[in-house]
Amino acid sequence: MADGKYTGEKSSQSGQYTGEKDKKRDAFGREEVFRPKGMGDETTRNRLLSSVQKSYEKLQPFRSLMHNLVEEYVGSSYGQGEGPRHEIYMNLMNQAVEAYTMALAANRPRVLISTHHDDLLFFAKVFETATNNLIKEIGLEQTIRRWVLDAFFCVGVVKVHMADSGQV
């Protein structure tokens, strides 16, 4: 990657990190570029492996809890299963999830943009329409529904990104 400033010319990329912030000067005023330590060292690889394994073990209770909750959610008629399963006639977990999803993420979010300045009213209405169209185009309601569903079972995380939406 070439050194330099932020480059985000392509619309498909948000830009590239060029390492500009990592540059330091040595005692003679020459530029030094930060170089991360490689994984060629066996002790470094062993430490990384050990850290990943410990992390995996610490997260095991959360994975098993989520597995059990999802198993209750899908009901007794889903999949083969690893042994005898009890028959569920009324899936209360599924009903609770559906109720919470409808309460928290029922419809597509909409924006209302207003202004106190009369000369900006036209821009506010155009911007409101453009924002609502963008929300429809990117399918934000499905993302929010998935987020609510994930939050019900364990942790709901949504990754957001600021970028130019292009010509509106």
> Does residue 168 register a pLDDT over 70?
no
d(CA 34, CA 37) in angstroms, rounded, equals 9
48 and 109 both lie in a single domain: no
Residue 1 has pLDDT above 50, yes or no: no
Question: Nearest CA to 19 among 37, 7, 39, 34?
Answer: 34
pLDDT of 6 > 70? The answer is no
pLDDT exceeds 90 at position 167:
no
Residues 96 and 160 in one domain: yes
Residue 31, in any domain of the structure: no
Q: Do 57 and 72 share a domain, yes or no?
A: yes
Which domain-ending residue is among 89, 120, 151? 89
pLDDT digits (tens, 9 = 90+) for 92-147: 888 888 999 999 998 999 999 999 999 999 999 999 999 999 999 999 999 999 99
Cβ atoms within 10 Å of 144's Cβ, excluding its own: 19
Question: What residues have CB less than 8 Å from 9, skipping those under 6 apart?
Answer: none
Please report whether residue 124 resides in a domain.
yes
Does some domain include residue 17?
no
Instruction: Identify the band that residue 37 occupies on the pLDDT scale cut at 50, 70 and 90.
Output: low
In a domain, 8, yes or no: no
Task: Tell me the residue ranges of DSSP E strands in the chain.
Answer: 24-25, 31-32
Asked whether residue 78 carries a pLDDT value surpassing 80, the answer given is: no
Q: How many percent of the chain have pLDDT more than 90? A: 35
Q: Are residues 85 and 97 in the same domain?
A: no
Are 61 and 97 in a shared domain?
Answer: no
**Average pLDDT estimate for 5-17:** 50
Q: Which domain holds residue 105?
A: 92-168
Say whether pLDDT at 15 is over 70: no
Same domain? For 76 and 106 the reply is no
At 73, the pLDDT band (50, 70, 90 cuts) reads: confident
- Higher-pLDDT residue of 76 and 62 is 62
Regarding whether 141 and 104 lie in a shared domain, the answer is yes
The per-residue pLDDT for 122 is 96
Domain end position, chosen among 65, 89, 113: 89
Same domain, 96 and 145: yes
Residue 4 has pLDDT above 50, yes or no: no
Spatial CA neighbour of 92 closest among 68, 75, 77: 75
Q: Are residues 135 and 110 in the same domain?
A: yes
Number of domains composing the chain:
2
pLDDT at 137: 92
